[in-house]
Every structure is written in structure tokens, then in C-alpha cells.
Amino acid sequence: MKKLLIFLLVLLSACQGETTPESAAVEGAEAASVKSGTASVTMEGATHELNNINWATSLVKSAPGEIQLSLMQDDNPVSLNFIIEDATLQANGAKVYTFPDAKNAAGAIDLNFLNTGRKGVAMQQRVVFSEGSLEIQELTEHSLKMTFKGAGHPLMTQDTFPIEGSIDIKF
């Protein structure tokens, strides 16, 4: 009886390592739907890290040539918003945009931040990235990796200050 039990345990442990094509497809789909990653932005002398993004309150929409992000973290006063529509982007998977020219080109591109910790009227808590470069290093069906460096300003003012940061997420 003891030998039979040992044999069954060995057989069971050997079978656990095997995957069928069906289980591999399910595991691949689950891995693709796992949302993770980080974003950071440095502006007005402070760096804001979004290392624990709340995916329940954040928004990620992706379609060929279009992506819309709104990344939020519960304990962070800064959220990051990014929208781009560029039919050539998905085919290339990487591209550099120069602001303000990119905002005036065909399609749409917008990068802005909401900083609820920023003093002043509520409208000026929204900071717009308005000049510099934005480089998308990788865009796939389930990931985005990009950096940006330049300057921006709060809504309703033209007083610019340096802004730089990055996004590296899987969705």
C-alpha cells in the first residue's frame, strides 16, 4: 500500500509539469490580460512615481493605430493621461513625435497630467505637455513603452517648466 501511494504521488507530480495546447492557450491569454507596469513624471522639482497603478480606476483602450491611457494610483496626487491616434504607429511599433508640431499634424496626440496636489485654481491642476519630444520605443497589442522630455504648462497659462518621464506598462 505504501509503495502504491508513493507511485501515485510520483506520477501526479510528473503530470503537473505537462501542458496541453489548450491549457497553454489559456495561460497565454491570461498572461496577456495581466496589467502591470510603471509610469513616472518629473515636473516642478518633484518626481511622481506610479509604481502601484490601480487598474480598476485606470483606463486603457487600445486599437490599431490608437491608444488611450489614464493611469492612476490611489496614494498619488498625479495621474497621467495619454491619447494618440496615428494609423502608422502600430505598423512601426516605434516612433518619435516632436511637440508642438505633433499636435498640429493629422491625427491626435495629447499628453497631460492631473496634479491634485498643485496649488492654485482647479483648472491649473491640469498640466499639458506642450513642447519637446515623445518617443514610443515599443507598442504592441498588450504593451507600451515610451519616454518624454520637454516642457509643459498648466491650463490657462503659458508659464512653462521642464517635464520628463516614462511609461512602461503591459495591459
- Residue % of the chain over a pLDDT of 90: 57
d(CA 95, CA 82): 15
Comparison of pLDDT for 103 and 46, the residue scoring more: 46
Residue with cell 518617443: 135
pTM: 0.77
- The per-residue DSSP string of 22-65 comes to HHHHHHHHHHHH--EEEEEEEETTEEEEESS--TTT-EEEEETT
Residues 129 and 150 sit within 8 Å (Cβ to Cβ): yes
Residue 10: pLDDT band (50, 70, 90) is very low
C-alpha distances out from residue 42 to 11, 107, 166, Å: 55, 27, 9
pLDDT at 23 over 60: no
pLDDT score recorded for residue 33? 61
> Which sequence spans correspond to the domains of the chain?
35-170
Comparison of pLDDT for 45 and 91, the residue scoring more: 45
Q: Where are the alpha helices (DSSP H) in the chain?
A: 2-16, 21-33, 89-92, 101-104
d(CA 141, CA 89): 12
Phi–psi pair at 52, nearest 5 degrees: -130, 65
Comparison of pLDDT for 16 and 76, the residue scoring more: 76
Q: Which pLDDT tens digit goes with each residue over 28-84?
A: 444 446 899 999 999 999 999 999 999 999 999 988 878 999 999 999 999 999 999
Residue 117 identity:
G
